[in-house]
Structure 1
Amino acid sequence: MAVALIGDLVNSRSWDDRAALQRALLAACDAANQRIPGAEQPPEPTIGDEFQAVYADLADAVDAVLVLRLALPHPADCRVGIGVGDVAVVGATSYGLTQDGSAWWAARAALESLEARERRVPGVRTSVQWAEDQAKEEYVNGYAACRDHIVSGFDARQRRLALGALDGRTQAELAESEGITRSAVSQSLRKSGALVLKELWTRA
């Protein structure tokens, strides 16, 4: 089994400085690589505003999406389709390995399904599809939708504080880096829902 990830930037064409946005995407991919090591194919931009990755474990892929969203500078955001199935290398070109397989098909279908889901559930940014055994999708997508709802409500500072909390930084350290009081950090983490993300995060 492999877990393929295909993502794109939301409303990227509205950005005046697209080069800066692409640099931000590179930095977000690097942030995910640092925090979720061991990817079979680390997240990296491909063409335009898309990026891809391959993981051996679904939890790693889902956690990588969280880091990517938090690491992007507000209001930049991304939507991600995750496919669970097979990945096969069928050749190589000057651009890299040529890949195929049911995980990629499922990831593309998941990404394309998000447009319709976003109309029903504002702020949803993650969709998971299995090439087989679709019964599992309901539970994972329910979790992802709840998490997306929290993150989609963050402002720039709340993203930084949430990511810092996931990294295990203390509230005193976060307060110093933001130039605010420790009490303000505590209130932000509680009111924004970031502490829920921290409770579910087991990597730090």
Structure 2
Amino acid sequence: MPVAVTVDIVGSRRIPDRDAAQRLLDDAIARVADDLPVAEVALHPIVGDELQGVYPTLDAALATTLLLQLALPDVVECRFGLGVGAMGLVPSASGDIPDGPGWWAARAAIDRVHALQQRAVPSARTWVAADASEPDAAQAAARSANAYLLARDEIVGAMSERARRLTYGRCFGATQRSLAAQEGITQSAVSQLLAAAGAASIVEGYRLLEP
């Protein structure tokens, strides 16, 4: 079943140059869409600091949100709510409006990750919610995904911007030698940085999700 994804920018009101931050986010989204073209509806701004998109499977949504986290620079950070449930369009004179349990679940997921971030799990950035009407298998898949996401967000959240860039490259099979050339550092430095950042587990996790 398709998965609704809602994204919002963490602390958008505190960003000194909101226009520049939006351009950086747009660039990161475009890069991920080019490298992993799986979206049924590409991520796009809707209002304020929020974006929405639709992905064909939970794995596709998880893979895309990981790449976007890795692609973003330090000055832009996002939360991701993934909703499993039926989606539809409500006719309107100004254009059809996306609606339905999948979107409600995505909003609930954003609210949940926001609450986690403020209390027990400051590193939390991504959550999956399945609508209550979804079968037990969908509920179990959401719980399993969230167990993975808590660990994934902890690792990615602790990475430097350079470590995220290198990890992104490794997800697509770039060699340490080529990454070192891009960064202007030695291959040994790349190897040490990736190892210290825990990149190997993120890369292997991505490969399990990759459509």
Shift of 1:93: 5.3
Shift of 1:188: 0.7
- Residues 62-141 of structure 1 mapped to structure 2, 5 A cutoff: 62-91=62-91, 94=94, 96-118=95-117, 119-131=119-131, 132=134, 133=136, 134-141=139-146
Shift of 1:92: 5.2
Using the aligned pairs only, state the percent identity: 44
Render the CA deviation track for 1:26-74: whole Å, top value 9, x for unaligned.
1121122123313110112221111111011000001111111111111
Provide the residue aligned with 1:51 in structure 2.
51
Q: Structure 1 unaligned runs (5+)?
A: none
- Distance of aligned partners of 1:61 and 1:93 in 2 relative to their CA distance in 1, 3 Å threshold: farther
- Residues 1-204 of structure 1 mapped to structure 2, 5 A cutoff: 1-91=1-91, 94=94, 96-118=95-117, 119-131=119-131, 132=134, 133=136, 134-202=139-207, 203=210
The two structures, once aligned, show a CA RMSD in angstroms of 1.6
The answer to whether the 8 Å contact 1:70/1:163 transfers is: yes
TM-score, normalised by the number of residues in structure 2: 0.91
Shift of 1:144: 0.8
The answer to whether the 8 Å contact 1:32/1:43 transfers is: no
- CA distance in 2: counterparts of 1:64 and 1:195, whole angstroms: 18
TM-score, normalised by the number of residues in structure 1: 0.94
Of residues 7-16 and 178-187 in structure 1, the stretch that sits farther from structure 2 once superposed is 7-16
- CA distance in 1: counterparts of 2:202 and 2:140, whole angstroms: 25
- CA distance in 2: counterparts of 1:138 and 1:120, whole angstroms: 17
The answer to whether the 8 Å contact 1:91/1:98 transfers is: yes
Of residues 83-92 and 167-176 in structure 1, the stretch that sits farther from structure 2 once superposed is 83-92
The answer to whether the 8 Å contact 2:84/2:106 transfers is: yes
